[in-house]
Structure 1
Amino acid sequence: MYKHYYVIINNMKVRYFSDLHLEFIKPHKIKKFIQKIPSGNNEICILAGDIGNPYQENYDIFMNFISKNFKKTFYITGNHEYYNKTKTIQETNEFLENYFQQFDNISFLNNKYENYENNCFIGTTLWTKITDPTYKINDTNSIPNFDYIEYNKLNMLSVEFLQDALQKNENCIVITHHMPSSSLIDIKYKTLQMEPYHQWFYCNMDELIETNENKIKYWIYGHTHTPSNVIKNEIQFLCNPIGYPNENKILDFQSSFEM
Structure 2
Amino acid sequence: MKIQICSDLHLEFPQNREWLQANPLIPKAETLIIAGDTYYLDRDFSKLDFINKVSNDFKHVYLIPGNHEYYGGYDVSTALLSKQIDIKNNVHLINNKSVQIEDVNLIFSTLWSKIENNANEIKIGMNDFRLIKFKEEQFTINHYNTIHDKAFNFLSKEIKKDGKKVVITHHLPSEECNVNEFKGSLLNEAFCVDKTDFILNSDIDYWIYGHSHRNITDFKIGNTKMVTNQLGYIGLNEHQLFNYEKVIEIS
* TM-score category, normalised to shorter length: 0.7 to 0.9
CA distance in 2, matches of 1:253, 1:182: 26
CA distance in 2, matches of 1:199, 1:28: 29
Q: Against the structure 1 CA distance between its residues 30 and 93, is the aligned structure 2 distance closer, same or farther, given a 3 Å change threshold?
A: farther
TM-score w.r.t. length of structure 1? 0.82
Task: Tell me the equivalent position of 1:6.
Answer: none
Q: Against the structure 1 CA distance between its residues 74 and 134, is the aligned structure 2 distance closer, same or farther, given a 3 Å change threshold?
A: same
Question: How far apart are residue 205 of structure 1 and its match?
Answer: 1.3
Task: Choose the corresponding residue for 1:25, options 5, 11, 14.
Answer: 14
Task: Choose the corresponding residue for 2:65, options 77, 87, 106.
Answer: 77
- The structure, 1 or 2, with the larger RCO (C-alpha pairs under 8 Å, 6+ apart) is 1
Task: Choose the corresponding residue for 2:121, options 128, 131, 135.
Answer: 135
Question: How far apart are residue 115 of structure 1 and its match?
Answer: 1.1
Task: Choose the corresponding residue for 1:87, options 71, 74, 86.
Answer: 74
- Summarize deviations over 1:48-73 as a string: whole Å, max 9, x none: 00012234467632222222110112
Q: Unmatched 5+ residue regions in structure 2?
A: none
Task: Choose the corresponding residue for 2:103, options 118, 142, 146.
Answer: 118
Retained in 2: the 8 A contact 1:77–1:125? yes
Task: Tell me the equivalent position of 1:151.
Answer: 144
- Summarize deviations over 1:22-63 as a string: whole Å, max 9, x none: 111259837724x521115x5211100001223446763222
Matches within 5 A, 1:1-259: 9=1, 13-26=2-15, 29=18, 32-33=21-22, 36-39=24-27, 43-56=30-43, 60-61=47-48, 62-84=50-72, 86-90=73-77, 97-98=84-85, 100=86, 102-132=87-117, 133-136=119-122, 137-144=126-133, 145-191=138-184, 194=185, 196-212=186-202, 215-228=203-216, 229-246=218-235, 247-248=237-238, 250=240, 252-259=243-250
Counterpart secondary structure, 1:167: coil
CA distance in 1, matches of 2:196, 2:13: 34
Q: Against the structure 1 CA distance between its residues 159 and 65, is the aligned structure 2 distance closer, same or farther, given a 3 Å change threshold?
A: same
CA distance in 2, matches of 1:258, 1:71: 16
Q: Unmatched 5+ residue regions in structure 1?
A: 1-8
CA distance in 2, matches of 1:257, 1:83: 30
- Summarize deviations over 1:145-198 as a string: whole Å, max 9, x none: 31101001001001100001011242100000001111111012124xx1x211
Q: How many residues are paired up?
A: 237
Counterpart secondary structure, 1:108: strand
Q: Aligned-pair RMSD on alpha carbons?
A: 2.5
CA distance in 2, matches of 1:18, 1:197: 21
Percent identity between matched residues is: 28
Retained in 2: the 8 A contact 1:82–1:92? no
